[in-house]
Amino acid sequence: MSERRKITLPAGKPASTDADPRRKPLRPNAPVKRNRVRTAEDSAPRPERAPQPERGTPGDATRARQDARAVPTPRQAPEDGRVRLSKLMSEQGLSSRREADDWIEQGWVSVDGEVVTELGTRVWPHQQITIDPMAHAQQAQRVTILLHKPIGYVSGQAEDGYEPAVVLVRPENRWEGDTAPWQFTRGHLNKLAPAGRLDIDSTGLLVLTQDGRIARHLIGEDALVEKEYLVRVQSMAQPEAENVSAVVPEEAMEQLRYGLWLDGKPLKPAKVSWQNEQQLRFVLREGKKRQIRRMCELVGLKVVGLKRVRMGQVVLGKLPQGQWRYLRPDERF
């Protein structure tokens, strides 16, 4: 037998059980890994985890907080049945909303005997509203002007280089047949606004008013005032036809009277009849943008001339084109 050699380890180093001298010794107090015996539970399939929402970057959260601060929280109206005082005054026909706000600020409106001066005040519908005579006196001084608008003028604000029709309201353009008792002043142009549009390519009666009650009566959401038009048309299928009424089927006329849709909504019933071989008479109770022209296109007709001759009980009459007159005290729409 060969003799065994005695190996002396350096002091302070524990003996290693691994034959590989490169293996690092265990750290003091380090946990020792032990082989675990597998059980039946380990072999069972693990339940699927619910998908976690995608996480954004820290910048996303910051932007979300900034957006939340930027969007104001809408002020909730009380659910007890109260309404804005100005809205109630408009619904009762006492004034327009703009007039109501002006009168409230002036201290001319009382509710159940108490003066209200704060805009946005809400009241009960059954409460008694009283208007100071000063407000009625101011309202009576407001004028309404009837203008025979020519082609080439827009009804409202100037646009695309075209002038508004109100520029025609000048002393030299006042109709000599006007019997209204008022003398024209520059104050009559203050806040004078059109009550209803008339296309740039259309002529006829245009109402300009300072009175919010008249504007609401003519063009409000619940307005039922009739507007009458004379419309010269041409058949798209037979543009050379002189007797247009002879080539338009009765079905098309029925559609014009009722059954057409514009802007995704059905139109209200209209009165449509032939005035002569080339001219239709329309009576409407609504006024969508370019409504008559669009209605005619839907049934194969092209409008070549359009003139408004009546609004309610007020007619254009003999008023010359480009001239104007005052609405008389005895006239009502």
Q: For 292-328, how does the pLDDT look when each residue is reduced to its tens digit (9 = 90+)?
A: 999 999 999 999 999 999 999 999 999 999 999 999 9
H-assigned helices in 92-243: 97-106, 133-140, 212-219
pLDDT: is 37 or 98 the higher one? 98
Q: In sequence order, which residues have a C-beta less than 8 Å from that of residue 72 and are 6 or more positions away? A: none
Q: pLDDT over 90 for what percent of the chain?
A: 51
What are the residue boundaries of the structural domains of the chain, listed by start?
Answer: 83-140, 144-222+316-326, 227-311
Active site residue 199: yes
Q: What is the pLDDT of residue 135?
A: 77
Listed range (112-121, 168-177, 226-235, 297-306) with the worst mean pLDDT:
112-121
Q: What is the pLDDT of residue 92?
A: 85
**In CATH, what number does 83-140 get?**
3.10.290.10
Same fold, 83-140 and 227-311: no
The per-residue pLDDT for range 43-66, each reduced to its tens digit, is: 555 655 555 555 555 555 555 555
Domain 144-222+316-326 has CATH 3.30.70.580: yes
For residue 11, the model assigns a pLDDT of 52
Give the model confidence (pLDDT) of 138-180 as tens digits.
666 789 999 999 999 999 887 778 899 999 999 999 999 999 9
Contacts of 25 (CB under 8 A, 6+ apart): 14, 16
Over 90: is that where the pLDDT of 79 sits?
no
**Partners of residue 232 on adjacent β-strands:** 279, 305
Q: Give Cα separations from 231 to 7, 219, 276, 295, 323 (angstroms).
A: 124, 21, 10, 12, 21
User: Is pLDDT larger for residue 25 or for residue 277?
Assistant: 277
**pLDDT on residue 141:** 72
Identity of the amino acid at 156? G
Q: Is the pLDDT of residue 2 over 50?
A: no
This model's pTM is above 0.75: no
Residue 241's Cβ-count burial label (10 Å; 0-12, 13-18, 19+) is middle
State the pLDDT at residue 16. Answer: 47
Give residue 1's pLDDT.
47
Q: Tell me, which fold does domain 227-311 have in CATH?
A: Alpha-Beta Plaits (3.30.70)
Give dist(CA 121, CA 116) in Å, integer.
Answer: 8
**Confidence check: pLDDT of 73 > 90:** no
Q: Which of 101, 102, 199, 211 is catalytic?
A: 199
